[in-house]
């Protein structure tokens, strides 16, 4: 094949700016080959190089005594005691999911699972955080059905339980849905596998499925805005096979036990290029690849296509040569490809051969380490105008509750999670639908809690407080189960960073997240940045999703009960009735106004510690967030099948979204003991009502629980079923 000439149009089509191309010329001292241009495009795009975000990501707290491995590897690793570690990460597959919903979402799940088992961990839990446009938009229905089916189709076949997640709808996502996938696995703390190559002349081995033309240019596509040419990008979406992935995992874990693996890296974004360069760079070595040896499922593939393909279910490994026969036997047993495709070399080179032709010869360390790093101009988001409380009309509190639970944003989500396998592996202690999920650590008394949280309208109004709030809500969701928060992963979804106001949102959110994870001892150990989430210049809401993991070391300390008839309802924390950016304002009055609720991190920590210290006195607990006390009390009552009566009928204390608050259900004696303990600890605790009967009553306003439950449970299916 005649390779195309390097023209300004071809350079631009590869997502490279003229000044970036000039830098390439400077590095290699000549015009790049077509394959080399593709390699630079893959390594230097936003998705792989984090060129707009690196400066700010470095400011995040990433260390702690519990952290074994922080950001920079395939996933973060956290010590959970007894020689065990939890390995986890969250990553986006936004752009592919919009173009091809089923495969985009499915391969997002596949990719995050590979990130986990690449490190030697067996996956035990998944989550997904999904953001879609308004239900009336012509594309939303197709996206919801396709994405949910894709997540379920891949995860269910692979065999990992879904522990939780979230789904939201807003017009800002009409042209760009978000699909953030999370996975966690268990490993022995002293048997973690890393990606840094070591040793000269060591074989580089290709493992897994064959390479095809699917996903060529996927990472570059994920680093650009959408416009009306979106359909042309369909070939950049990968196609997944969960059954192959399952075999790949078993083969990799078996191989790791043989001692043959020096380093291993999954082939994700930018495929063979990125995995080979990262392994070489981390080990301070060069890599030589012979592409004729790459297993191919399509005829006449070019070097360019093989280097940039993002075909799924593939790994790259550096192998101990004396154990080649044992390693090959493992992969042949699992009916997977095992091919030596190159070797590590002492020189700082990334040398690509196809037949007798040199298709690329680049300085490897420079290719990896000299990706552009931008200090993008940014403007701080202007302070939000505080909400004039007098401007919020009075509302019957039951009518307000009906508006929330009958809206697509606050109704029950069982239509979604019932399509996911939540019980596979038989270690699920709490299924989705009630705050954080809970998975038993098999063969031990320990439990791991998982949650995913962000409130995008808060972040848009006030990026700093919104960033803090996402972490604080994750902290509360774990705490409400009695779990000690361990660490976090983030998936930072924003619009075009070249716009100073978007970059300002990003910087503000990072500062808020950093302050919160430091104060709450939840370091960021892994994550992903997804920028350019825009269509025709319209950006998504800033959506920095926080995935968090907590631990319960003794099942006796878990708070997993339900409210029952006769229980007292208590609120821990101060209620001021903050309605700015609230669910009530948005869903009842169609107003998105005011400032985000302020987050007092010291209060968050104090109240969290109080919950955990007094777990024995608490039967059921949930945090107060969207929808305030009214929605939290209804959800707790509905889950238990018992009515609830709250003393107030005032909208502000019922629907206000003040932070650092929990709703507690317990019997009268326990309530008395908690009041005494709260007085001693100096934390505010107030009785707000009780759980009883078969109705929901706020002040004098009342409705049958059964009627409200039907609305709550039926809305999602009625909209999308």
Question: What are the DSSP calls for 545-606, one per residue?
Answer: EEEEEEEESSGGG-------TTPEEEEES------TT-HHHHHHH----SPPPP--HHHHHH
Query: Catalytic annotation on 95?
Result: no
pLDDT digits (tens, 9 = 90+) for 337-350: 999 999 999 999 99
- Which of 625, 621, 634, 633 has its CA nearest to residue 711? 634
306 and 196 Cβ atoms separated by less than 8 Å: no
* 679 has pLDDT over 70: yes
* 318 has pLDDT over 70: yes
pLDDT digits (tens, 9 = 90+) for 430-460: 999 988 999 999 999 999 999 999 999 999 9
What span, in angstroms and rounded, lies between the C-alpha atoms of 663 and 210? 53
Q: Is this structure's pTM higher than 0.85?
A: yes
Measured over the CA atoms of residue 462, residue 468, residue 474 and residue 476, the dihedral's sign is negative
What span, in angstroms and rounded, lies between the C-alpha atoms of 226 and 392? 38
Burial pattern 124-156, b for ≥16 Cβ within 10 A else e, equals bbbbbbbbbbeeebeebeebbebbbebbbbbbb
Locate 708 and state its tokens: 């409200």
Residues 6+ apart with CB under 8 A from 391: none
The confidence band for 151, taking pLDDT boundaries of 50, 70 and 90, is very high
Pick the more confident residue, 77 or 234: 77
For the CA atoms of 379, 383, 384, 390, the dihedral, rounded to the nearest 10 degrees, stands at -170
pLDDT at 269: 75
The confidence band for 222, taking pLDDT boundaries of 50, 70 and 90, is low
Averaged pLDDT, 595-601: 98
| DSSP 8-class letter at 209 | S
Say how many C-beta atoms besides its own lie within 10 A of residue 535's C-beta.
18
Cα dist from 383 to 380, 471, 582, whole Å: 9, 21, 17
Out of 213-222, 533-542, 602-611, pick the least confident: 213-222
Query: Catalytic annotation on 47?
Result: yes
pLDDT digits (tens, 9 = 90+) for 360-392: 999 998 887 778 899 999 999 999 999 998 999
pLDDT at 271: 87
Rg of the chain in Å (alpha carbons): 26
117 and 249 Cβ atoms separated by less than 8 Å: yes
pLDDT at 634: 98
* Of 14, 47, 567, 578, catalytic: 47
pLDDT at 552: 98
459 and 470 Cβ atoms separated by less than 8 Å: yes
In which region does residue 695 sit, left (phi positive, over 0), alpha (psi from -120 to 50) or beta (all else)? beta
Cβ burial, residue 323 (10 Å; 0-12/13-18/19+): middle
Cα dist from 396 to 407, 540, 698, whole Å: 17, 33, 9
Locate 626 and state its tokens: 């969207």
Residues 6+ apart with CB under 8 A from 252: 117, 118, 207, 264, 315
Cα dist from 121 to 113, 317, 370, 451, whole Å: 10, 16, 31, 20
* Of 14, 93, 567, 578, catalytic: 93
> H/E/C letters for each residue in 589-648?
HCCCCCCCCCCCHHHHHHHHHHHHHCHHHCCEEEECCCCHHHHHHHHHHHHHCCCEEECC
120 and 253 Cβ atoms separated by less than 8 Å: yes
What span, in angstroms and rounded, lies between the C-alpha atoms of 46 and 268? 14
pLDDT at 216: 79
Averaged pLDDT, 531-541: 94
Residues 6+ apart with CB under 8 A from 583: 404, 409, 410, 626, 627, 628, 631, 655, 657
Out of 29-43, 233-247, 350-364, pick the least confident: 233-247
């Amino acid at each position: 094949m005649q390779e195309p000439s390097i023209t300004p149009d071809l350079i631009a089509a590869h997502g490279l700016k003229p000044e970036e191309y000039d830098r390439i010329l400077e590095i290699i001292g000549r015009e790049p080959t077509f394959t080399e241009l593709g390699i630079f495009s893959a390594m230097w795009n936003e998705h792989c190089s984090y060129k707009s975000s690196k400066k700010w990501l470095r400011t995040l707290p990433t260390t702690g005594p519990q952290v074994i491995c922080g950001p920079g590897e395939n996933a973060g690793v956290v010590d959970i005691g007894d020689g065990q570690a939890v390995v986890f990460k969250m990553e986006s597959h936004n752009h592919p999911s919009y173009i091809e919903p089923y495969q985009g979402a499915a391969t997002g799940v596949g990719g995050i699972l590979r990130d986990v088992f690449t490190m030697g961990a067996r996956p035990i839990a998944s989550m997904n955080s999904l953001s879609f446009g308004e239900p009336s938009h012509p594309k939303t229905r197709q996206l919801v059905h396709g994405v949910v089916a894709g997540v379920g189709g891949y995860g269910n076949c692979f065999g990992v339980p879904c522990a939780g997640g979230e789904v939201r709808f807003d017009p800002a996502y009409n042209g760009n849905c978000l699909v953030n996938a999370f996975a966690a696995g268990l490993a022995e703390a002293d048997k973690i596998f890393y990606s840094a190559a070591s040793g000269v002349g060591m074989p580089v081995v290709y493992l897994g499925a064959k390479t095809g033309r699917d996903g060529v240019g996927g990472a570059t596509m994920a680093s650009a805005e959408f416009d009306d040419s979106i359909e042309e990008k369909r070939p950049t979406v990968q196609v997944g096979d969960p059954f192959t992935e399952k075999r790949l995992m078993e083969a990799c874990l078996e191989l790791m036990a043989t001692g043959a693996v020096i380093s291993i890296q999954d082939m994700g974004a930018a495929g063979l290029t990125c995995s080979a360069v990262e392994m070489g760079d981390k080990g301070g070595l060069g890599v030589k690849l012979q592409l004729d040896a790459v297993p191919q499922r399509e005829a006449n593939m070019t070097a360019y296509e093989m280097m940039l393909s993002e075909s799924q279910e593939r790994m790259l490994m550096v192998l101990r040569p004396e154990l080649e026969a044992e390693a090959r036997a493992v992969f042949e047993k699992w009916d997977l490809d095992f091919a030596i495709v190159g070797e590590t070399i002492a020189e700082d080179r990334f040398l690509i051969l196809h037949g007798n032709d040199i298709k690329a010869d680049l300085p490897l360390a420079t290719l990896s380490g000299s990706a552009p790093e931008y200090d993008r101009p940014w403007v701080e988001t202007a302070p939000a105008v505080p909400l004039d409380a007098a401007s919020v009309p009075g509302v019957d509190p039951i009518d307000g509750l009906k508006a929330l639970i009958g809206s697509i944003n606050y109704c029950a989500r069982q239509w979604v999670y019932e399509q996911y396998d939540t019980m596979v592996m038989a270690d699920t202690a709490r299924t989705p639908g009630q705050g954080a999920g809970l998975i038993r650590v098999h063969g031990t008394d320990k439990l791991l809690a998982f949650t995913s949280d962000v409130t995008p309208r808060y972040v848009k109004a006030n990026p700093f407080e919104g960033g803090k709030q996402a972490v604080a809500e994750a902290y509360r969701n774990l705490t409400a189960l009695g779990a000690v928060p361990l660490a976090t992963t983030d998936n930072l979804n924003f619009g075009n960073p070249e716009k100073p106001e978007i970059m300002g949102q990003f910087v503000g959110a990072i500062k808020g997240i950093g302050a919160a994870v430091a104060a709450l001892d939840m370091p960021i150990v892994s994550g992903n940045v997804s920028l350019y989430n825009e269509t025709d210049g319209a950006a998504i809401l800033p959506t920095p999703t926080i995935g968090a993991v907590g631990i319960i070391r003794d099942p006796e300390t878990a708070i997993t009960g339900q409210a029952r008839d006769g229980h007292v309802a208590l609120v821990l924390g101060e209620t001021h009735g903050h309605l700015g950016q609230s669910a009530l304002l948005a869903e009842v009055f169609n107003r998105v106004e005011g400032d985000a609720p302020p987050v007092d991190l010291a209060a968050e920590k104090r109240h969290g510690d109080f919950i955990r210290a007094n777990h024995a006195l608490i039967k059921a607990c949930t945090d107060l967030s969207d929808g305030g006390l009214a929605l939290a009390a209804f959800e707790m009552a509905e889950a238990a099948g018992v009515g609830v009566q709250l003393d107030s009928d005032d909208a502000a204390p019922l629907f206000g979204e003040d932070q650092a608050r929990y709703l507690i259900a317990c019997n009268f004696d326990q309530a008395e003991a908690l009041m005494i303990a709260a007085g001693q600890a100096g934390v505010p605790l107030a009785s707000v009502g009780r759980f009883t009967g078969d109705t929901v009553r706020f002040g004098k306003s009342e409705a049958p629980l059964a009627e409200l439950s039907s609305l709550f449970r039926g809305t999602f299916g009625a909209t999308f079923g």
